[in-house]
Chain A
Amino acid sequence: LKLKFLNILFQTPNDFLGEIDKALKSGKGFNKKEENILIFDSVKAFNNFMTVNKIQILRAISQVGPESVYRLASILGREPQHVLKDCRHLEAYKFIRLEESSRGRNPIRPVLTFDYDVIKADSSIISPYIISERSEKLLTHQPSVV
């Protein structure tokens, strides 16, 4: 049973622009989508972004699969408008997608961008974030607590 990782890398803007420049001009590919990689400019920016509330949202989406943001807010015991704001932030950075449905009163359904189990940052000071139920079982041997 292989866990799926969403990998977080860190690169300064100058390094990032330089790497793309090199990739485009040298003929090298640069497929971070296939490698499931998101890149932040600093560990500090990632830590500011990835709050406890956002981790709980990702875990609830993975483990419960709520049909709407309203239901997600109910699971987490938070106000829907605050959860929606966090969801929009997560969507902007491509951790989740917000799917619109034409049916029902709560048409926005949050889903992970792909079924990743763990978010792993390329930094020794950030522990992996366990997202899915199976990663929880495999890595912590503890019951799921969303």
Chain B
Amino acid sequence: LLPVFVHYAFIGNDGSEYLVDIEVYETENLVMFPEGISGRFRLFRVDENMNKILVYLIDNHAPYGFHEHDELPLNHFSRITIHVKNWQEAWERFQIKCRELID
């Protein structure tokens, strides 16, 4: 299954530039990642000054488990738990967000 590392650039249906960054890989840090897998699904928008703004993030680490950062880009520290069993299900959720920007 692993690793998965990929960086993808696309123009959204609002005309903005978006970047998808996916990292899923095995790790020995079982304190932070009890399942032995570290990973992030990140979606960025490029603003008018060409800065990369994080607009959506799903990751999975202690003590939160799978979670979304639900107040991006303003507040990185707000998180809500999401009820998914594994990375495949987390990806499903992330993919829906991406599809909103391309359809």
Given A92-B46, A92-B52, CB of A21 within 8 Å of CB of B95: yes
Interface residues on B, range: 20 to 34
Q: Count A-B contacts at CB 8 Å.
A: 85
Tell whether, in the assembled complex, residue B4 and residue A31 are in contact, meaning their CB atoms are under 8 Å apart. Answer: yes
Beyond A45-B11, A92-B50, list 5 extra A-B contacts (CB 8 Å).
A14-B102, A16-B10, A29-B2, A37-B6, A40-B10
- State which of A16, A41, A88 has its C-beta within 8 Å of the C-beta of B51: A88
Given A13-B98, A17-B98, A89-B50, CB of A23 within 8 Å of CB of B4: yes
Task: Jot down 16 A-B pairs with beta carbons below 8 A, ordered by A.
Answer: A16-B10, A21-B95, A23-B4, A29-B2, A30-B6, A31-B4, A33-B7, A37-B6, A38-B7, A39-B6, A45-B10, A45-B11, A86-B50, A88-B52, A89-B50, A92-B51
Give CA–CA (A17, B20) in the complex, Å: 10
